[in-house]
Structure 1
C-alpha cells in the first residue's frame, strides 16, 4: 500500500514532484523518483510484501516505468503464468513487481486485488492510469489543455500543489444531496477520478496536445444464478474462506478491526477456526453512546475467539482533536461522522501492525442494511424501486435554490422524487429529463438497491477507509471486496439473501458454523456517534456551523441558503435536526481545512 504522484507532458514541474512530501503519510518505508524531459513520477512505499529494496518503486521494465499502489492477491498465479511464457521472475519478488511484469506481457484484467497504477512508456511517450474493479485504491488526474500536461496522484491534494483548481458548485451540491458523486467526478472543476475498472491511456500529439482514450477491463454485467440455495451457500463459503486466506498472506504483522457485528466477527472466526492462527483484534468503544456502544458485543466475540484484544475508547475530545486534520486528508467533506474513529484505531494499531483487516463490504454484498426490508414487501416494489433508480441515474444535479432541501430534508426529497415531471424539472433546474416509462415492470428492487450500494455507496465507504488508514501509515484490507467473491454475490437472487424475512440470510447461515447463534442473530446496532450530545456541549461545532451560515462562501458558488436556515443560529439547527447540523458542520470544516 503506497501513494504516487506525477506529471506527464512537461518537465517544468519535475522539481515540485521530486521535493513533494504531501503523500508521505501513504508510505514511509521508501521514496523513489524517476524523471526525464516529458515529466516525473514519485512513489511513496509502505512495504508489505518483499521488504527488501527489490520491492521499491517505480519499477523499470524495458522502456516502461510502472508504479502500483495496492496489493495483488493472485500474484502467485501470475508468477506461474509468466514462467510458462518464459518470463523470468526473481524468487521472492513482491506482488506488485510480479504484476508489473505481467502488465508488460498481458492484460490488466488478469490482476485480482486492490490497486491503482501507472504505466509510463518513455519510448512511445504514452502513460496509462488504471484502477481496480471497485475503486478500492484511489487515483485522480487533471489535464491542462492550455499548457498541455497531465497531473496524476493518489490524492487530490497532491494535484492542488501544482494546479490551483476551483471548487465546482454543481458537484458540491450533488455530493451533499446524494452523499457522494459519480465515480468519475470530484469537487473540483478540472480534477477527475479514474473510474473503477477503467484504464485511461494518454499520449502527446506532435502539436504537444495531450490526447486520451478510455477502456473498461471490468465486466459490470452479470447473470442471476439459477442454482438452488443449498448449492449457493457452500459456494459463497468457499469463496469467502479463499478471500480471507489471500488477504492474510503478507510479510508483516496484521490485525483485525472488530466492530462486534456479524461481518468482522465472521472474518475473525474463519481466521481462527479454518487457519488455526492466533488473532489480534482492535475495537472502538463509545463510552458516551449508550445503547449504540458495542463494547459488550466486541468483548463477547473476543472472548469466544480468545483473541489478543485491544479496546480503544473514543470520546468527544478525540473527535475534536482529529476532525480538522481528517477533513484535510479526506479531500471531501466527511459524509459519515463515524468515519473519524477509524484513524485513532489505525494509529494505535500501527504501533505493532502494518495491516488492518476490516468487514467493509458485507452489507452491500449480502443485503444487510435496514432499507432491504422494503424489498421483502412486493407492494413497495414500484414506488421505492423508482426512487432508488432515479437516485442512481442522475449523473449531475443542477443548481438548487434551497440548501434546506439539499441538506437531508427527507420529506422534501421524497416529494421531489415522486412529484410530476413538470415539478421535477423545476426542482432540477430543467436539467432532469428521464422518462419513468423506461423502467420495466419486472423491476427487481433488491438488486436495484444492491447495485446502488455496490457501485456507489460502497465506493465512498472504501474511499474514507483508504484515507484514514493510510493517514496512519497502515494498509486497510477488505476481504469481502475480493473480486471472485464479489462476482458471486452480485449474481445471487434477492430472494436468497432475504429468505424468511432475514437480511443477510446466506452470510448468517455460513456464520452459524463458526460463531454462537446469539452473535450471529443479534440485532444490528450500527456504529453511531452521540453527535447531538457532543454538538450541544461544545462551542467548537457551533463556531464552524456559524462560519458557513454567516459567510458568503456558498453564495459565491451560486448556492443559495434557504431563508429559514440562514435566519437560524447553529444552536437551533442542532436542536431541530442533528443530521442537518452535521452536514453544515462537515462542509464548513472542509472549506476551512482543505
Structure 2
C-alpha cells in the first residue's frame, strides 16, 4: 500500500505549508517506506509515501502528463493498466514509464474525471490541474483504499489516514457523538462519517472536486441489480463465476515484486490459492495464523491440507490471548478508529509474518459478504415467508 496527503488553500495568494505536508507524510511512513515525493504549487501542497509494486524504478510520484498541466499522487493498483496503456498508445499518447500511475494521468488528460469508469482496481488518488487551479480526489468503487478529508481555516486537507490529517495544526481531534452512536449500533462508522468531528471519509464510488474555495462530492458508481437478467442453469452460473474469479486473480498477479496469499483453510481463501497455483509457475507462498487454546476455532489443519494439495510454500504460527493484548494498541493506532472485528489483530500478526517473505498478498476477504457465508445471512431466506 501507499499513502497520500495534501493541503489546498482556498485563498490562492496563500502558500500551502510544505513543512506541514512533510509532517503529514511522516505520520504515514508505514504505508510507503520505499520513497516519497511532493508537488508544491503555491496554494497546493500534496505528496505521497510509496510502496513500490509496479515499475519499481520509473514509477516515482508525483507524476505528470506530457504538458505538465496535470499532476497526480496515487495509492493503489490498476489491474487493467496494460490494456489501457495499449489503447492510449494507439490514440497517440507517449508514455515514458511502465507504471499504472502514468496510465491514469494520461486518461485524465483525455477524459477528465470520467476516466475513472475505465479503471479496474483499488485506488485513491488526487489530481491537480495547475491551469484551472482545481483539485480532483477519487476513491475506488468499493472503498478498498481509504481517503479522508476535512476543511479547516480556509483550506482543504486530505490524506489516506486520519492520523495524517491530525498533524495539521488547524485540525482537532474532537469526538463526533453521532459517529460514536453509529459505531455502538452498527459496530462500525459508515462513510462519510468518522469518530472525529468534521473529519469525513470520501465515500466509495465518489470523487471530490475542489475549485474556487468550494468542494463538491459526486457519486460516479453504484452497484446495479439487473432485474431482467436471463435465467441460467446452476452449471452455467458456476462456470461463469469460475471464469470471473480466474480472470480476477490473473489480473492481480501482475506485479514486479514477490507475492503470496493469506490462507485460512476456508472456502474463500482456498479458492484464491487454488487459482493462484493454477496461474503461477512456482509454488504459492501462503501464510496462516491459528489460535492457541481456542477449541473449535483453530483452522491451521485445514489450511495445511489446502497448502499440501496445491504444493504451496506454507508458513504458519499460533497466537495466544496475551498476543491480542500486546498488539491491540498498535492495531488501534493503525486503524485510527475503534473496530469491532477481533480478527484484525490476527490479520496484523499474519501480515508481519508475510512481510518477511513477500511484499504483497492476495486474500479471500469479502467472500462471506458476497456469497452470504455468515450464519446471520441465512435469515434472509425465510424473510419472504412472513411471521
Judged with a 3 Å threshold, the aligned counterparts in structure 2 of structure 1 residues 142 and 342 are, in CA distance, closer, same or farther, namely same
- Contact 2:23-2:167 at 8 Å conserved across structures: no
Is 2:81 aligned against 1:78? no
SS in 2 for 1:368: coil
Within the candidate set 49, 56, 60, 2:60 is matched to: 56
Corresponding residue number in structure 1 for 2:157 = 151
Shift of 1:68: 1.1
More strand by share: 2
Larger relative helix fraction: 1
Contact in 1 for aligned 2:21/2:45 (Cα 8 Å): yes
The SS at the match of 2:378 is helix
Residue 266 of structure 1, CA deviation: 1.0
Task: Please state whether the residue corresponding to 2:296 is helix, strand or coil.
Answer: helix
Which segments of 5 or more consecutive residues in structure 2 lack a partner in the other structure?
Answer: none
Q: 1:286 — aligned with what? A: 291
User: Rg: which structure is higher?
Assistant: 1
C-alpha displacement at 1:221, in angstroms? 2.4
Q: Which runs of 5+ in 1 are unaligned?
A: 205-209, 384-594
TM-score normalised by the chain length of structure 2: 0.92
1:127-151 deviation per Cα after TM superposition (whole angstroms, max 9, x unaligned) = 111000100000000012xx31000
1:68 and 2:74 aligned: yes
Describe the SS at the equivalent of 2:198.
coil
Contact 1:165 1:190 in 2 (8 A): no
Q: How many residues of Structure 1 are paired with residues of Structure 2 in the alignment?
A: 373
Instruction: Identify the residue that residue 591 of structure 1 maps to in structure 2.
Output: none
Aligned to 2:316, the other structure's residue is in SS state strand
| Partner SS for 2:178 | helix
Q: Which residue of 2 aligns with 1:11?
A: 15
SS of 2:226's partner is: coil
Whole-Å separation in 1 of the counterparts to 2:306 and 2:317: 16
2:221 match: 218
Aligned mates of 2:289, 2:205 — CA distance in 1: 33
1:104, CA displacement in angstroms? 1.7
Partner of 1:174: 182
Does structure 2 conserve the Cα–Cα contact (< 8 Å) formed by 1:271 and 1:277?
no
Matched, 1:366 2:375: no
| Cα distance, 1:24 vs structure 2 | 0.3
Q: Provide the rounded CA distance (Å) in 2 between the counterparts of 1:82 and 1:274.
A: 28
Query: What's the counterpart of residue 121 of structure 2?
Result: 113
Residue equivalent to 2:349: 344
SS in 2 for 1:310: strand
SS at match of 2:48: strand
Contact preservation (8 Å) 1:256, 1:282: yes
Give the counterpart of 1:160 among 157, 162, 166.
166
Counterparts of 1:466-545 in structure 2, within 5 Å, are none
**Does structure 1 conserve the Cα–Cα contact (< 8 Å) formed by 2:187 and 2:339?**
no
CA distance, structure 1, for counterparts of residue 163 and residue 386 of structure 2: 42
- Cα displacement (A) at 1:274: 4.7
- Measured in 2, the distance between the counterparts of 1:214 and 1:129 equals 9
How does the TM-score come out when normalised to structure 1?
0.61
In 2: Cα distance, 1:140 partner to 1:219 partner: 20
Higher relative contact order (CA 8 A, sep 6+): 1
